[in-house]
């Protein structure tokens, strides 16, 4: 195969792969837009359609377990912390996975109810495709994934929220 044809083939392959990532981010952005509208409008039904509560609670529990294991306390306290991580993550999930909480976070970052929600194209450009097929939103290009979304039966749903990363980005310190 001549060199020019190999280069052309490589360029077409690269463009196809980039197109898949762009299509993925665009599809995700439509549902992220819906999530943002549900948060702005305090629409619990629409919010619930765009979040995976079980995945978010599992994420909260994993963070509690990691903190417990790395805590500088005795084994008995670590055991108690691990034992309580499930009930605590379910309680925290029930309290925190609400449109009002996410609206308060958005408000803290300067997104007020009167601020227009970014359009789908703007959101797509702000999302990063991850190797596992999920996408995430960061505070800046190449930054930590703060919100992670997964395609679940054709709907991109929020599956992880990095509270510590959000606090670091705001200048606040996690406890």
Q: Is 139 domain-assigned?
A: yes
Residue 151 falls within a domain, yes or no? yes
CB atoms within 10 A of CB 97: 19
In angstroms, the CA 103 to CA 90 distance is 21
In a domain, 78, yes or no: no
Helix, strand or coil for residue 154? Answer: coil
Residue 74 lies in a domain: no
Spell out the per-residue pLDDT of the chain, length 175, in tens: 554 434 433 333 333 334 445 789 999 999 999 999 999 888 999 999 999 999 988 888 788 777 777 777 777 776 777 667 677 767 777 778 888 888 887 777 667 778 888 899 999 998 999 999 999 988 777 778 888 999 999 999 999 988 665 545 544 443 3
- Contact (CB, 8 A) for 109 and 129: no
The total domain count for the chain is: 1
- Residue 96: exposure state from Cβ atoms within 10 A (0-12, 13-18, ≥19): middle
Residue 27 falls inside a structural domain: yes
Domain that holds residue 118: 3-51+97-170
Predicted confidence at residue 156, as pLDDT, reads: 97
pLDDT at 19: 43
């Amino acid at each position: 195969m001549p060199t020019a044809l190999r280069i052309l083939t490589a360029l077409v392959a690269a463009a196809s792969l980039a197109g898949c990532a762009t299509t993925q981010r665009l599809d995700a952005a439509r549902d992220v837009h819906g999530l943002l509208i549900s948060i702005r409008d305090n629409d619990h039904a629409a919010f619930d359609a765009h979040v995976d509560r079980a995945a978010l609670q599992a994420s909260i529990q994993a963070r509690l377990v990691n903190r417990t294991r790395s805590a500088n306390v005795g084994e008995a306290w670590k055991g108690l912390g691990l034992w309580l991580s499930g009930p605590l993550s379910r309680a925290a999930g029930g309290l925190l996975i609400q449109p009002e909480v996410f609206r308060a976070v958005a408000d803290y970052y300067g997104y007020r109810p009167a601020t227009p929600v970014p359009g789908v194209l703007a959101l797509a450009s702000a999302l990063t495709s991850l190797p596992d097929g999920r996408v995430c939103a960061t505070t800046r290009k190449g930054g930590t994934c703060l919100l992670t979304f997964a395609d679940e039966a054709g709907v991109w749903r929020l599956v992880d929220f990095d509270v510590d990363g959000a606090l670091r980005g705001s200048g606040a310190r996690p406890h």
